[in-house]
Amino acid sequence: MENTKEIINETAKNYKNFHNPSLAKLYKFGGYNSIEWTAEGVHIKDIDGKEYIDCAGGYGVFSLGHRHPEIVEAVKKQLDKMPLSSKLFFSKPLADLSRLLAEITPGDLTFSFLCNSGAEAVEGALKLARLATGKTEIISAINAFHGKTCGDLSASGRSKMQEGFEPLLPDLYHIPFGDIKALEKAINEKTAALILEPIQGEGGIIVPEDDYWPKVRQICNERNILLIADEVQTGLGRTGKMFAVEHYDVVPDIMTMAKALGGGVIPVGAFIAIPSLWECFKSNPLVHTSTFGGNPLACVAAIKTIEILRRDNLPEKAALMGEYLLEHLIKLKEIYPEIIASVRGKGLLIGIELRKESIGGSLIPALVKRGVTAGYTLNMPKVIRFEPPLIITREQINKVILVLEEAIKEAKKTLSIESET
């Protein structure tokens, strides 16, 4: 494309002058200072035609890759019928999607509310917990991430993200993730619910012990509080199961999802709950609504996404590819222990914990320069994460590993020069 330099400069200038100056600096610092232009499958191309294997994956959005042709086609067909709902009649796409969600979620999770994002899904789940129980207190985990709206931010467990937005919602309390004794101690007669991510994402890809979730479920039953599983990032095949709680044979009372649900084409989120909780909507079914939530375009995208996940056995493929990637990352850790402290994850949700936070500032730009994207974690900056599309192949993973090793060598050299100076 002609004049690409001018387009890049103009776009960066518009970010600086009219969008978010600090974000513009962050993109440049991280090596993401070109313009994304096209995308397909596991690849992104910038305006200059350079290709990247997308291992950031939109932080879990692009589980089916970019621009999956079947989802694009489904959305195009619906666009010619009715893009948005009047909210005055029954909607077949909404009804069909709600039935599908009841089919694919564990246990007796039955009734769904469709919205536009993970943040909205969590907000709805928190509201439902308070409305259904008549109680006010919510317990969450330290280093949790549940979104950035005021309610979600109150549930999230990192004070740095909350600073400047106080006072947050009252009656939200935080305990260490994985600590059963702390949970037992925190519950009282005012506790409505416990909200947890099955695996902490922004907290650094923290995978709990295998017995943690079953114990949590038991305690919630015994103490009569609701269990909310935030599957916004872990859901829909990412960890090697359709939902991460299935690794632990646990059924929550409420579950949230988003990110991958729209197939990487249309934003869509949802929360789903057991039937008894939906009783609280009997007196006023319009007490919680969304103008754009459950719109026909989003619903057909989600229906087709679920169809593809099941038909192509993508959760199972994520488990196999994740095991393969994890195995090779552990080998790199053994070769470069001065750079990599640990590697962990489930399926294709994998975190690489670096020895120092500053290493990421060298490593990620070195990856991007060589055509591989990776993501930071907000609550634990020492951890970079790989969340590639579930359709990634062994050959593509092999290329990622080669590039990562080259980037590690470059970062190691850069850090050595800095330490000498």
pLDDT 10s digits, 74-91: 999 999 999 999 999 999
Write down the pLDDT at residue 162: 80
41, 389, 68: which is closest to 238 by C-alpha? 389
Give the rounded percent of residues in the chain with a pLDDT score beyond 90. 84
Judged on CB neighbours under 10 Å (0-12, 13-18, 19+), 296 is buried
Catalytic residue among 62, 113, 145, 243: 145
**Strands 372-373, 349-354: pairing kind:** unpaired
Write down the pLDDT at residue 421: 46
Could you tell me the pLDDT band of residue 419, with boundaries at 50, 70 and 90? Answer: low
Q: Provide the b/e sequence for 328-367 (b: ≥16 CB within 10 Å).
A: bbeebbeebeebbebbbbbbbbbbbbbeeeebbbbbbbbb
Which of 57-71, 266-280, 352-366, 387-401 bottoms out in mean pLDDT, i.e. has the lowest? 352-366
Judged on CB neighbours under 10 Å (0-12, 13-18, 19+), 319 is buried
For residue 259, indicate whether it is catalytic.
yes
Residue matched to tokens 């313009």: 35
Catalytic residue among 46, 54, 152, 230: 230
Catalytic residue among 135, 241, 259, 304: 259
Q: Rounded to an integer, what distance in angstroms lies between the CA atom of residue 371 and that of residue 162?
A: 34
62, 69, 77, 124: which is closest to 262 by C-alpha? 62
User: Regarding predicted confidence, which is higher, 217 or 411?
Assistant: 217
CB 172 within 8 A of CB 140: yes
The pTM of this model reads 0.95
pLDDT of 355-386, one tens digit each? Answer: 998 898 889 999 999 999 999 888 888 999 99
pLDDT of 131-177, one tens digit each? Answer: 999 999 999 999 999 998 888 888 887 777 788 888 888 899 999 99
Structural domains present in the chain: 4-60+313-420 (3.90.1150.10), 69-311 (3.40.640.10)
Structure tokens at 216: 């949590």
> Given a cut of 80, is residue 420 above it in pLDDT?
no
DSSP annotation of 313 reads T
For residue 145, indicate whether it is catalytic.
yes
Per-position DSSP letters for 372-385, written without gaps between them: EE-EE-SS-TTEEE
For residue 382, indicate whether it is catalytic.
no
